[in-house]
Structure 1
């Protein structure tokens, strides 16, 4: 099973798709969403405008324009603690499942996820990482699809959290 964590700028990754932790408008915002829109160029905003937004837990795909990735999959994570604990987990899991389903539909072989919902949406980092890894592992087994999954983080705290969970779950 090809799951790993890297501490890098997601806008520089040369993968089939990067996953943007977007807001419901898909028109850019702060954090990784703003960085992806900035690096991809103004064409991304124009294409996203035509998508008419995205609901929490869902995902939509666009080309990546000026990024080295081929595609951007935009997903909207839950705002914590807006929903119940079980609903938050279900919505966060849906972000990963729907993004991976799009990757499979497009026959993609590599995907890099940013940390979904852990920035301004305040989802606890460790719980979000456990949900992400658990959901992706289950999806790979259930779908029997060969894809490289990268969790791309920008800080040491998230890197250590993901690395510890991945190492513990494979040992």
Structure 2
């Protein structure tokens, strides 16, 4: 795991790391989920494979959550305490930017409601759902900054983006560079 950049917003930290989200020792990792909470492939499949089928079983009990929302389960054998399953949009379904913003906001609100101190997010919707990686990075970083500026009393001390591949990481680096330049 490699920390790439950090940015302070008040006493809160936005962090960009490169690595495997299933190995993050934070209060909650975020799963890029589908509405039916069936965790077969991508990040979701890796989370269930490493964390255990208990994550899928808890998800089956929840059953369904609409695009733009997030729900919480335990984390099984993962180092994190919880998994927040955020449902981002598939490209082509309409209002994708708005739906991705809602998914990020739902995730952060849920983390705060559960009094979590640290959270690690992947590049939601930018894999098999086909959302453009540059727009994903801009929305995830931008919505996190807005959330921390608007809610100065949140429990979250660290919002982290855990990115696996170099191409996606490059887009997130650009967004962090903009933060450091104040643009």
- TM bin, normalised by shorter chain, reads over 0.9
Computed over aligned residues only, the root mean square deviation of the Cα atoms, in angstroms, reads: 1.0
- Post-superposition offset of 1:167: 1.6
Q: Which residue of 2 aligns with 1:157?
A: 167
Structure 1: gaps of 5 or more residues = none
Task: Give the Cα separation in 2 of the matches to 1:82 and 1:89.
Answer: 11
SS in 1 for 2:108: helix
TM-score calculated relative to the size of structure 1: 0.95
The counterpart of 2:129, out of the listed 111, 116, 121, is 121
Greater percentage in helix: 1
1:163 is paired with a residue whose SS is: helix
Task: Name whichever structure is richer in strand by fraction.
Answer: 2
Give the equivalent residue in structure 1 for 2:5: none
Q: Is the 8 A contact 1:22 1:29 kept in 2?
A: no
Match of 2:82 among 71, 85, 103: 71
The partner residue of 1:41 within 52, 59, 72 is 52
User: Which has the larger displacement, 156-165 or 71-80?
Assistant: 156-165
Moved beyond 4 Å, runs of 4+:
none
The alignment partner of 1:53 has SS state of coil
Per the alignment, in what secondary structure is the counterpart of residue 39 of structure 2? coil
Residues 1:26 and 2:37 are matched in the alignment: yes
Q: Does 1:57 align with 2:65?
A: no
Match in the other structure for 2:6: none
**Aligned partners of 1:162, 1:81: CA distance in 2, in Å?**
23
Q: CA deviation at 1:123?
A: 0.4
CA distance in structure 1 between the aligned counterparts of 2:107 and 2:78, rounded to whole angstroms: 18
Which 5+ residue runs of structure 2 have no aligned equivalent?
A: 1-8
Residue aligning to 1:132: 140
> Match of 2:17, SS?
strand
**Count of matched residue positions in the alignment of Structure 1 and Structure 2:** 168
